[in-house]
Structure 1
C-alpha cells in the first residue's frame, strides 16, 4: 500500500530501468519517517504496537459497495509533522517498528483486479548505482534480498486486506465512534487531539451474545482490547512531547 507521506516518488520496480540500482543498507530507512506523525498499522501488529503507541482509527471513505472504511494507525506525535520516536541520530526510540516502515523504501501496489507490483520510492537517498547491495543480479534476476523482501511485503498486503475487512465489520456494528483526547500540559496550556475514531465501550457492551461470540471467534474482540489498552499511551505520548520540548529549550 502506497502512503503519499512516506512514499514520495513511488515507481514500480522494473528490471530494465532499475537493472543497476543498489540499496545502501547501511543507511537507516527510518529517517524517511521524519515529520510523520502516524502510520498505517495492520491488525496483525496490534499485539506488539499497543505496548508502544496509541492505536487510533481514521475514516478512509467508502468502498465500491458504499461500505465505510477505516484505517488503523500507530500515532507518533500529537501535532502535524511531529514524530517523537525518531531520534536525531536515526534511531527509533521504541522496541516495535511498524511493518510498513520496516519495508521502506519498498511497498506493494495494486495494478489490476488481482495484480500487484513491487514499488520503490525513488526519492529515497539510500538508492545508488555506485555502492550498496544489488537489487538485480548480473543475470537480470532479483537478488535474494529482493526475493525475501517481496515475500515480506506480499504478506503485508495480505494483512492489509484483512485489516480492511476487520475495520469494515467494526463499522457495520457501529463499534467505532468519533472521539477526542484532551490533556493539560505542565505549563497550564491545553492540547486536544481529535479527528479520529475509537471503540465505543457503551456500544461494545450492547452487543448481542451472538455478536460477541462472533467477534471472539474471529479475533476482533482481542483486537479491540489491544486498541483500548493502547489508548493509555496517549498520556505517555504527551509526556514524551513535553520532554522533547524541554530538551530543545
Structure 2
C-alpha cells in the first residue's frame, strides 16, 4: 500500500485489532501539510478554492492506451518546494481548507492484491492516535458515530475524486491544457520561476467548435474552466505572501 503525500504510514482499521484505538482531535493536523506546496483539489471545491489559491493541473500517472496522460488539479499553496504559505504555527491561515487536508488522518486505500475493494485506513504514525484519550473509533465491536462520519466523508471524497478524474479526461481529450510557467520578481530583485504545471490553452479554447462548447456546458465544465482561469490571478498574491 503506497502512502500519499502528508501521510506517514497507512494501515487498514480492524475492529478487533483497534478496538481500543482513540484519536485525540485536539492535536492540529496542519503540521503534516506544512511542507506541501500543493494538494489535490476535487472539481467540486473549485468555487471555494479559486478565491484564494491558484488552481493548476499536473500530469498524474502514465499514459493510457490512447497515449494521453492522466491529469489532476492541484491547489497551489507555495512557490517553493517544501513550503506552504498558508501555515502559521499550528494554524491554517486560508479561509478554505481543501478536503484532502480535512480528511487526515484517515484515507480510503486499496489493500494489496485488491483492484476494487477500498478500506478505511489511518495514519498510524500520527501520534494523536492512542488507547486512552480522545474520540473512540469502536465500541462493543462496532464503529462509533465518529468513525462512521469519517467514513462517510472519505466515501464522498472518493466519489468526487472519480468525478474529477472524468472531467480531467475530457479536458485532455479536447486538448485544452498546455504547459505553463509563472515568472515573478520579488521586491528585493530576486527572480524565480514556477513551472511543471498545466493550464488552459486560451487559443484552443477560443477556437472550439460550437458542438464542443455545448459538450463542455452540458458536462458542467464551462464554470470550472472560468474558476481555473480566475484562480491564476492568485499567483501574484502568493508572491506577496512569499515576499512578506
Contact in 1 for aligned 2:56/2:228 (Cα 8 Å): yes
Gaps of 5+ in 2: none
CA distance 1:179–1:3, change in 2 (3 Å):
farther
Deviation at 1:64, TM superposition (A): 5.0
Give the equivalent residue in structure 2 for 1:96: 96
Contact in 2 for aligned 1:53/1:75 (Cα 8 Å): yes
Give the equivalent residue in structure 1 for 2:137: 135
Partners of 2:144 and 2:28 lie apart in 1 by 20
Give the equivalent residue in structure 2 for 1:246: none
Give the equivalent residue in structure 2 for 1:236: 237
Deviation at 1:61, TM superposition (A): 2.4
Partners of 1:163 and 1:221 lie apart in 2 by 14
Residue-pair matches, total: 241
Partners of 2:2 and 2:55 lie apart in 1 by 20
Give the equivalent residue in structure 2 for 1:119: 121
Give the equivalent residue in structure 2 for 1:169: 170
Partners of 1:2 and 1:236 lie apart in 2 by 34
1:35-94 per-position Cα deviation (integer Å, ceiling 9, x unaligned): 111100000100000001011111012365344200111111101100110111x11111
Partners of 1:149 and 1:215 lie apart in 2 by 33
Q: TM-score, normalised by structure 1?
A: 0.93
Give the equivalent residue in structure 1 for 2:26: 26
Give the equivalent residue in structure 1 for 2:52: 52
Deviation at 1:3, TM superposition (A): 5.6
Aligned-pair RMSD on alpha carbons?
A: 1.5
Deviation at 1:202, TM superposition (A): 0.6
1:175-186 pair list within 5 angstroms: 175-186=176-187
* 3-state SS of paired residue (2:88): coil
Partners of 2:85 and 2:2 lie apart in 1 by 23
Q: TM-score, normalised by structure 2?
A: 0.95
Partners of 1:2 and 1:93 lie apart in 2 by 29
* 3-state SS of paired residue (2:71): strand
Deviation at 1:8, TM superposition (A): 1.7
Contact in 2 for aligned 1:2/1:108 (Cα 8 Å): no
